[in-house]
């Protein structure tokens, strides 16, 4: 599933089996994602995402992408109280339920201290993407931590695929696009 969060938390794409119909819906609804919210309700987003989960929670994962700090009110003391609630209540609840939280901080303004706490406490992955070019590799690292895939090493600009493999996807990143 996909949730967006600012002051409110909204389910953009319902939790479900990832099939062609779900992908089509997710692709269409992803166009509605924006960053116009004045607040960053990280605690609310984590709570909502953890309420709807697979029947086997031992393999449940949350990937949290955020560009902000815990920010739910104009009053800094309210935000500090919410930060403490996330650390003292939400993280233990996620850990107890078997969730792994993988975080991607999208700017220098993100609370990387909290992102690291979330990831470390739940055996997740923490990453930072300060530019648009860094976003896809950071997200893919989080996604791969949530849903590990088999990978092949590249040696001498080549890789070998076993003859028993009938289908594979190659995803390549280059420092220099002309290479």
Question: Does pLDDT of 88 surpass 90?
Answer: yes
How many percent of the chain have pLDDT more than 90? Answer: 31
Question: Does pLDDT of 28 surpass 80?
Answer: yes
Question: Does pLDDT of 179 surpass 70?
Answer: no
DSSP bridge pairs for 158: 155
pLDDT band at 53 (very low <50, low <70, confident <90, very high): low
Contacts of 112 (CB under 8 A, 6+ apart): 105, 126, 128
Please tell me the least confidently modeled range out of 93-97, 163-167, 173-177. 173-177
What is the DSSP pairing of strand 126-128 with strand 99-105? parallel
pLDDT at 145: 77
| Residue 61: CB atoms within 10 Å | 20
| Residue 56: CB atoms within 10 Å | 8
Query: Three-state DSSP class for 144?
Result: helix
The pLDDT tens digits for 114-128 are 999 999 999 999 989
pLDDT band at 148 (very low <50, low <70, confident <90, very high): low
């Amino acid at each position: 599933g996909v949730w967006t969060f600012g002051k409110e938390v909204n389910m953009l794409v319902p939790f479900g089996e990832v099939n062609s119909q779900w992908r089509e819906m997710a692709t269409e609804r992803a166009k509605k994602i924006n960053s116009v919210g004045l607040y960053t309700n990280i605690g609310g987003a984590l709570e909502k995402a953890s309420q709807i989960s697979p029947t086997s929670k031992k393999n449940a994962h949350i990937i949290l992408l955020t560009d902000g700090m815990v920010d739910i009110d104009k009053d800094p003391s309210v935000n500090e109280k919410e930060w403490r609630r996330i650390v003292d209540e939400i993280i233990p609840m996620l850990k107890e339920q078997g969730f792994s939280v993988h975080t991607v901080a999208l700017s220098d303004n993100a609370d990387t201290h909290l992102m690291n706490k979330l990831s470390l406490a739940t055996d997740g992955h923490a990453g930072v993407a300060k530019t648009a070019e860094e976003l896809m590799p950071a997200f893919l690292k989080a996604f791969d931590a949530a849903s590990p895939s088999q990978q092949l090493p590249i040696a001498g600009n080549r890789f070998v695929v076993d003859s028993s493999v009938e289908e594979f996807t190659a995803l390549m990143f280059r420092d220099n696009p002309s290479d």
